[in-house]
Amino acid sequence: MNKEIKNIVLTSLFIALGIILPMVVHGFGQEVASAISPMHFPILLCGLILGYKYGLLCGVITPLLASFINGRPPLLPMATTMAFELGIYGLLSGLFYHKVKVFNKKIFNLYFALIIAMLAGRIVFAVVSTILPHIFIKLPEKAFIASFVTLFASGFIGIILQLLIIPSIVYTIEKIIYEKE
């Protein structure tokens, strides 16, 4: 199969996972879903495995499509804001893992890419979630700092899980892919 077609199919799979996984996790309650951030996992995996172009595409499309399909997250402001955040996740995880080699060891580059993507994505989320409401209503300027702190506090469990789980998934999938080539 052509590599481009294979990557498009795999990106579609990650988008589908990004829609289905939150639906499953929401079955355990909103608090669990908010803490784990299940939509983030497939986006980060897509960027790390397929590269920045597909990661960006997956990150932007997934929350918007999920909103249209099942109404969660709500299109405004959450899905729109998440499209920016997750787009950055996919873009930077792929870019830093495949193009910017900071360390000699692959595992360090993987963690570096994950951490940079998660930090930048959350910063973008905080900025967009602060700016977007200003278009409709006036909010205090301190909303950005509160939004940023809340993002890290509420998503801390998800961050830890992503750092623990994603590297082993990436290595397993890469091993399977490279054995077949």
Q: Look at residue 131 in the predicted model and tell me its pLDDT.
A: 80
35's CB contacts (< 8 A; 6+ apart) are 154, 155, 156, 157, 158
How far is the C-alpha of 111 from the C-alpha of 76, rounded, in Å? 32
Which domains are seen in the chain, by residue range?
Answer: 3-180 (1.10.1760.20)
Residue type, 131: I
Q: Over its length of 181 residues, how does the chain's per-residue pLDDT go in tens digits?
A: 799 999 999 999 999 999 999 999 999 998 888 889 999 999 999 999 999 999 999 999 999 999 999 999 999 889 999 999 999 999 999 999 999 988 999 999 999 999 999 999 998 998 888 787 767 666 566 666 666 677 667 778 889 999 999 999 999 998 887 776 6
pLDDT for position 50: 97
59, 88 Cβ separation under 8 angstroms: yes
In this prediction, residue 113 carries a pLDDT of 98
pTM of the model: 0.91
Distance CA 43, CA 125 (A): 15
